[in-house]
């Protein structure tokens, strides 16, 4: 790494990033994230409170620290254990941190500017006594929290070698109330840690299967509001939407192609559920399956050439795959029990996550497509809707806890697990992790 | 006659941009709802930008209050796990619905398929659909006109019994024959 050059390019890139994505700030109820299981050798890191002349709307260091901690890869130091609170490399008392066994320290400042804040931070390797990374950027008041997530991404990438996915968003469906006609369904988009939730849709009718467009600007979903299920595509910023598949039978389970020009979805226009590709520009449908069984839950391979889906053509539900150019379905799940459904590829195409059912209940399973290895990664007996983080390291899914359905996350190797309790007492389901923000 | 109550939602576009979102709010101005009748717009959409308005829409009284849970137990057909086979013991329910349609040529029978909560939501939506279609096929075999039958599925969304045990699951794997 060449620090100077990297800092310069990051400064420019950081400015664009920081200014690019407006996000209103609002008072939040507490979101609790419980790490139920952590990695074996988490990396010690201390994110020292960023120095600021006045009170800030967000505790930047706390947000960064929480991000790193919930990745399960870091052992974050609480402020009361810190020997001092330096704000720059020069202020760090290296022997004091070394004696505590602290390997990495993050220091920084937040300075008010005409348009918001200037944020500066340095990541320091205590044992080498040198800076690993320095960054300076401008942000708005509204974006300060998002900036903290971006800083967490930078630190994560510097120390693990993998791209961070903290400055991303997630979508999910909530349900309040009980009994037919008294339920309220909402479609929500929030930051990856559950903060800044926004309601995209509120409806007395069921909402299913939210899916992100690859540019992060649109969400596709299915809704029963027109008495039968129709698929909509909604712009996140404006709220404008259009019905892209409706009418005869059930239209559902949309998934955007990696290039954003197509949707895979399931329709039952001829009575039986089949997999289709919808070309969004022309509105034309291409039918990919033709089988009297249930074919549903299509999802694109990262190369955009194949679609995996759930089918019970062999009796119970299993995962199959078709190519856009060859409609012969190939079965993917063998000897993995009687129930495998709702597949999702990791971005690198190496893994396929699914709902795996058997005598032990319904759990999230991850199939390594390269070596055939299979691992159950969730501990719940009612886990559903796995969704990969865009960096492929974590999976979000819904699970049934004491209070109903809630969100949980797990690392792809199953080692790091966490439960995410969103405020408000709603049932939370069908999480979809959004793409990297551009 | 007010069988249907339409409630127009008047939507106000919020005022000034607080966070400089003009780039976002200008987009997709052309992608408005097209071809949807007012009855279909009970849901309210929103964007994340500060200065955007909701779309207008209407709420109709049937929305979200379908006949689920209102039919008597003599009009419910239950199913085995992951099965859409109509068991022999429920044939009288099918036959009664067929007789009803025969005696009332203008009548419509609605078949609503449901599943228990286990497994994947979309697969269950399809399973409920297939159960409703299986009952429809039985009815047609017994002489009913397919044009008098509507099928729909709610998957696992509308359980009869909110419990999480086998007894509840058995109550929830069903088709409700509404007429």
pLDDT, tens digit, for every residue of B15-44? 333 333 333 333 333 333 333 333 444 678
The 10s digit of each residue's pLDDT in A354-399 is: 999 987 789 999 999 999 999 999 987 789 999 999 999 999 999 9
- Domain hosting residue B12, numbered range: 1-63
Q: Are residues B78 and B152 in the same domain?
A: yes
**Tell me: the pLDDT tens digits for A211-241?**
999 999 999 999 999 878 999 999 999 999 9
Q: Give the contacts of A230 (CB within 8 A, at least 6 positions apart).
A: A222, A223, A243, A245, A246, A247, A251, B40
Same domain, B167 and B112: yes
Q: A177 pLDDT band (50/70/90 cuts)?
A: confident
Minimal C-alpha gap between A233 and chain B (Å):
10
Of B29, B44, B123, the CB nearest to A202: B44
Residue B16, pLDDT score: 32
Residue B68 falls inside a structural domain: no
Report whether A387 contacts A171 (CB < 8 A): no
Same fold across A3-160 and A169-433: no
The answer to whether the Cβ–Cβ distance between A342 and B120 falls below 8 Å is yes
B chain contacts of residue A199, beta-carbon cutoff 8 Å: 46
Distance of alpha carbon A126 from its chain centroid, rounded? 32
Largest CA distance in chain B: 65
User: Are residue B105 and residue B170 in the same domain, yes or no?
Assistant: yes
Contact B123 A235 (CB under 8 A): no
B123 and B48 within one domain: no
- The percent helix, strand, coil of chain A (3-state, each to 5) is 15, 45, 40
Q: Is residue B128 domain-shared with residue B105, that is, in the same domain?
A: yes
Q: Is A202 helix (H, G, I), strand (E, B) or coil?
A: strand
Q: Are A332 and A344 in contact (CB under 8 A)?
A: no
Residues of B in contact with A229 (CB under 8 A): 125, 153
Asked whether residue B129 is domain-assigned, the answer is yes
Tell me, yes or no, whether B122 lies in a domain.
Answer: yes
Q: Across B50-116, where does the E strand assignment appear? A: 76-78, 109-114
The CATH number for B127's domain is 3.30.1330.60
Answer whether B118 touches A (CB < 8 Å): yes
Evaluate whether B118 touches A382 at the Cβ level (below 8 Å): yes
- Region A168-190: mean pLDDT is 89
Whether the pLDDT of residue A337 is over 80: the answer is yes
Interface check B45 vs A, CB under 8 A:
yes
Question: B77 and B59 in one domain?
Answer: no
- Phi and psi torsions of A333, nearest 5°: -95, 115
Dihedral angle over CA of A417, A420, A421, A427, nearest 10: -100
Which residues does chain B have within 8 Å of residue A252's beta carbon, measured at their own beta carbons?
122, 125
Q: Would you say A211 and A256 are in contact if contact means Cβ atoms under 8 Å apart? A: yes
Name, in order, each residue with C-beta under 8 angstroms of A233's C-beta and a sequence gap of 6 or more: A213, A218, A219, A220, A241, A242, A244, A254, A263, A280
More confident residue, A14 or B101: B101
Test A226 with B117 for CB contact under 8 angstroms.
no
May I ask the CATH class of domain A3-160? alpha beta
Q: What is the token pair recorded at A71?
A: 């990745």
Other Cβ atoms within 10 Å of A111 Cβ, number: 14
Q: What is the mean pLDDT of chain A?
A: 89
Q: How confident is the model at residue A101 (pLDDT cuts 50, 70, 90)?
A: very high
Identify whether residues B81 and B117 lie together within a single domain: yes
DSSP A240-299: -EEEEE-SSS-EEEEEE-TTSSEEEEEE-TTSS-EEEEEETTTTEEEE----SS-EEEEE
Cβ of A288: how many Cβ atoms within 10 Å? 20
User: Quick one: tokens of A120?
Assistant: 């500066």
Q: How far is it, in rounded angstroms, from Cα A216 to Cα B62?
A: 34
Confidence at residue A9, expressed as pLDDT on a 0 to 100 scale: 40
Tell me which of B63, B89, B105 is where a domain ends.
B63
Radius of gyration of chain B (CA): 21
Q: In what order do the strands lie in the sheet with A284-287?
A: A251-256, A262-267, A274-279, A284-287
Lowest mean pLDDT among A311-315, A403-407, B133-137: A403-407
More confident residue, A408 or B42: A408
Strand A306-314 relative to strand A295-300: parallel, antiparallel, unpaired? Answer: antiparallel
Judged by CB atoms closer than 8 Å, whether chains meet at A238 and B25 is answered as yes
Contacts of B164 in chain A (CB under 8 A): 400
Query: Are A273 and B157 an interchain contact pair (Cβ–Cβ within 8 Å)?
Result: no
- Are the Cβ atoms of B122 and A180 closer than 8 angstroms? no
B18 CB within 8 Å of a chain A CB: yes
| List of chain A residues whose C-beta atoms are within 8 Å of the C-beta of residue B123 | 294, 296-297, 310, 312, 317, 341-342
If you ran DSSP here, which 8-state letter would residue A437 be given?
P
Lowest mean pLDDT of A40-44, A242-246, A312-316, name the range: A40-44
Q: Rounded to whole angstroms, how far apart are CA atoms B152 and A58? A: 48
pLDDT of residue A227: 78
Is a pLDDT exceeding 60 seen at residue A2?
A: no
pLDDT band with cut points at 50, 70 and 90 for residue A180: low
Inter-chain contacts counted by CB atoms under 8 A, chains A and B: 197
Shortest distance between the Cα of A121 and any Cα of chain B, in A, equals: 25
Distance between B100 CA and the closest CA of chain A, angstroms: 24
Coil, helix or strand for A208? strand
Give pLDDT, residue B70. 66
Which residues of chain B are within 8 Å of residue A211 when distances are taken between CB atoms? none
Give chain B's domain count.
2
DSSP label of A382: B
Same domain, B77 and B52: no
Confidence check: pLDDT of B2 > 70: no
Q: What strands lie across the sheet with A427-433, from one edge to the other? A: A427-433, A169-176, A184-191, A198-203, B44-45
Mean pLDDT of B104-130: 96
The residues that bridge with A345 in the sheet, in sequence order, are: A352
Element (H, E) at A62: helix A60-70
pLDDT at B142 over 70: yes
pLDDT at A398 (0 to 100):
94
Same domain, B119 and B88: yes
Return the pLDDT at B162: 87
What tens digit of pLDDT does each residue of B53-93 get?
222 233 333 333 344 456 888 899 999 999 999 999 999 99
Question: Is residue B38 domain-resident?
Answer: yes
Q: What is the token pair recorded at A239?
A: 């709220």
- End position of a domain, from candidates B28, B45, B63: B63
> B150-169: per-residue pLDDT in tens?
999 999 999 999 888 999 99
Are residues B49 and B16 both part of a single domain? yes
Rounded-to-integer distance, Cα A77 and Cα A46, Å: 5
Residues B55 and B109 occupy one common structural domain: no
Q: In what order do the strands lie in the sheet with A295-300?
A: A295-300, A306-314, A316-323, A330-331
Confidence bin at A31 (pLDDT 50/70/90):
low
Which of A203, A221, A239, A432 should we substitute to test contact with B (largest number of B Cβ atoms within 10 Å)? Answer: A239
Judge whether B179 is closer than 8 Å to chain A, CB to CB: no
A327 CA: distance to closest CA in chain B (Å): 21
Q: Which CATH architecture has domain A169-433?
A: 6 Propeller (2.120)
Write out pLDDT tens, residues A104-153.
999 999 999 998 999 999 999 999 999 999 999 999 999 999 999 999 99
- Domain final residue pick, B63, B89, B107: B63
Distance CA A187, CA A30 (A): 20
Domain boundaries, chain A: 3-160, 169-433
Contact across the interface for A203 and B52, Cβ inside 8 Å: no
Give the integer Cα–Cα distance in Å for B125 and B152.
9
DSSP state letter for B23: H
Does the structure show a pLDDT above 70 at A194? Answer: yes
Confidence of residue B127 (pLDDT cuts 50, 70, 90): very high
* CA distance to partner chain B, nearest, from residue A106 (Å): 29
Q: Are A178 and A403 in contact (CB under 8 A)?
A: no
Please name the member of B25, B43, B121 whose beta carbon is closest to the beta carbon of A223: B43
The verdict on B21 touching A (C-beta cutoff 8 Å) is yes
Partner-chain contact B31 A183, CB within 8 Å: no
Residues of B in contact with A339 (CB under 8 A): 82, 119
Which chain A residues touch B55 with a CB distance below 8 Å? 239-240
Q: Cβ of B63 under 8 Å from any chain A Cβ?
A: yes
B157: nearest CA partner in chain A: A206
Contact between A374 and A364 (Cβ < 8 Å): no
In what order do the strands lie in the sheet containing B174-178?
Answer: B76-78, B174-178, B109-114, B149-155
Q: Looking at the structure, tell me whether residues B90 and B171 fall in a common domain.
A: yes
Long-range contacts of B20-26 (CB under 8 A, 24+ apart): B20/A22, B20/A140, B21/A22, B21/A237, B21/B49, B21/B50, B21/B51, B24/A22, B24/A237, B24/A238, B24/B49, B25/A237, B25/A238, B25/B49, B25/B51, B25/B52
């Amino acid at each position: 790494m060449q620090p100077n050059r990297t800092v310069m390019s990051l400064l420019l890139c950081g400015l664009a990033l920081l200014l690019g994505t407006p996000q209103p700030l609002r008072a939040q109820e507490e979101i609790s994230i419980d790490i139920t299981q952590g990695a074996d050798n988490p990396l010690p890191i201390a994110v020292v409170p960023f120095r600021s002349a006045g009170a800030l709307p967000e505790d930047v260091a706390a947000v960064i620290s929480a991000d790193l901690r919930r990745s399960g890869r870091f052992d974050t130091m609480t402020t009361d254990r810190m020997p001092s609170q330096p704000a720059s490399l020069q202020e760090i008392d290296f022997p004091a941190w070394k004696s505590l066994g602290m390997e990495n320290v993050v220091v920084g400042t937040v300075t008010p500017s005409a348009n918001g804040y200037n944020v500066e931070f340095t990541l320091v390797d205590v044992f080498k006594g040198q800076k690993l990374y320095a960054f300076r950027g401008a942000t708005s008041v509204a974006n300060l929290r998002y900036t903290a997530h971006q800083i967490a991404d930078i630190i994560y990438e510097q120390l693990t070698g993998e791209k961070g996915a903290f400055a991303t968003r997630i979508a999910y469906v909530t349900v309040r109330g009980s009994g037919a006609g008294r339920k309220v369904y909402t479609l929500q988009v929030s930051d990856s840690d559950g903060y800044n939730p926004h309601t995209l849709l509120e409806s007395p009718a069921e909402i299913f299967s939210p899916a992100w467009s690859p540019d992060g600007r649109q969400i596709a979903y299915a809704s029963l509001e027109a008495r039968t299920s129709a698929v909509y595509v909604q712009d996140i910023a404006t709220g404008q939407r259009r019905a892209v598949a409706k009418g005869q039978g059930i239209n559902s389970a949309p998934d955007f192609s990696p290039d954003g020009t197509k949707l895979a979805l399931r329709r039952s226009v001829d009575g039986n559920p089949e997999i289709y590709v919808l070309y969004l520009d022309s509105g034309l449908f291409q039918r990919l399956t033709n089988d009297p069984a249930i074919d549903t839950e299509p999802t694109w391979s990262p190369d955009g050439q194949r679609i995996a889906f759930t089918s019970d053509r062999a009796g119970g539900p299993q995962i199959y795959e078709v190519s856009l150019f060859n409609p012969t379905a190939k079965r993917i799940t063998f000897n993995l029990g009687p129930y495998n459904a709702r597949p999702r590829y990791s971005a690198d195409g190496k893994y396929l996550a699914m709902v795996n059912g058997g005598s032990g209940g319904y759990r999230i399973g991850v199939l390594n497509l390269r070596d055939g290895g299979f691992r159950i990664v969730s501990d719940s007996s009612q886990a559903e809707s796995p969704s990969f983080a865009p960096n492929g390291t974590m999976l979000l899914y819904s699970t049934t806890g004491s209070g109903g359905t809630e969100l949980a996350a797990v690392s792809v190797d199953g080692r790091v697990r966490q439960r995410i309790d969103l405020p408000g007492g709603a049932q939370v389901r069908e999480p979809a992790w959004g793409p990297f923000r551009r | 006659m007010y069988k249907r109550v339409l409630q127009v939602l008047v939507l106000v576009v919020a005022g000034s941009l607080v966070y400089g979102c003009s780039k976002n709010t200008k987009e997709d101005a052309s992608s408005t709802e097209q071809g949807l009748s007012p009855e279909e717009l009970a849901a309210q959409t929103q964007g994340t930008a500060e200065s955007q308005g909701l779309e207008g829409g209407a709420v109709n009284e049937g929305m979200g209050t379908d006949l689920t849970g209102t039919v008597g137990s003599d009009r419910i057909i239950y199913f085995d796990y992951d099965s859409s086979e109509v068991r022999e013991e429920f044939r009288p329910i099918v036959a009664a619905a067929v007789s009803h349609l025969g005696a009332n040529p203008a009548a419509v029978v609605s078949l609503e398929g449901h599943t228990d909560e286990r497994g994947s939501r979309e697969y269950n939506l399809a399973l409920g659909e297939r159960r409703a279609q299986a009952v429809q096929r039985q009815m047609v075999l017994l002489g009913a006109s397919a044009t008098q039958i509507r099928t729909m599925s709610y998957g696992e969304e509308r359980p009869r019994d909110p419990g999480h045990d086998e007894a509840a699951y058995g109550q929830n794997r069903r088709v409700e024959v509404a007429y």
